[in-house]
């Protein structure tokens, strides 16, 4: 299995997707502020296992359609978008949960580029 390739920056549609999710767990103004911070945050790398652990989310099955699609993208050498994270307790994966799960299946120790706000 090849190592995943990553885009330098999130795709434009990742931010509205993050906003849609964040509005479910935060007040609208706080969600908007978080997205604005994500847009200007530097990209850092964190291990897939640590992102999942901090988020307290379960690992999705590799048969999940979106997880499987991301695993296939890696196999095809396609670049994945960095993950968008909001520091809270627990950590919020605002966009990229399926990508994190896909990378975990490749190796839980793989580093995942992310924006952290």
CB 112 within 8 A of CB 83: yes
Q: What is the pLDDT of residue 35?
A: 98
Contacts of 28 by beta carbon, 8 Å cutoff, 6+ apart = none
Q: What is the pLDDT of residue 2?
A: 62
4 token code pair: 């995943």
Tell which residue, 87, 2, 14, 76, has the closest CA to residue 44: 87
CB 44 within 8 A of CB 86: no
The strand pair at 83-86 and 92-95 is best described as antiparallel
Q: Whole-angstrom Cα distance, residue 23 to residue 32?
A: 8
- pTM for the whole structure: 0.94
Q: What is the pLDDT of residue 1?
A: 58
Q: Whole-angstrom Cα distance, residue 67 to residue 58?
A: 13
Given a cut of 70, the residues of the chain with pLDDT beneath it are 1-2
Q: Whole-angstrom Cα distance, residue 40 to residue 46?
A: 18
End-to-end CA distance of the chain: 31
Q: What is the pLDDT of residue 31?
A: 98
């Amino acid at each position: 299995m090849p190592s995943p390739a990553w885009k330098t920056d999130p795709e434009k549609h990742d931010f509205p997707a993050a906003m849609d999710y964040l509005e479910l767990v935060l007040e609208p103004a706080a969600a908007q502020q978080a997205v604005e911070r994500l847009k200007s945050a530097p990209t850092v790398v964190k291990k897939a296992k640590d992102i999942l652990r901090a988020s307290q989310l379960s690992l999705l099955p590799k048969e999940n359609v979106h997880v499987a699609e991301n695993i296939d993208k890696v196999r095809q050498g396609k670049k994945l978008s960095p993950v968008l994270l909001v520091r809270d307790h627990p950590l919020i994966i605002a966009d990229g949960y399926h990508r994190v799960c896909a990378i975990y299946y490749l190796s839980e120790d793989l580093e995942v580029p992310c924006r952290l706000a």
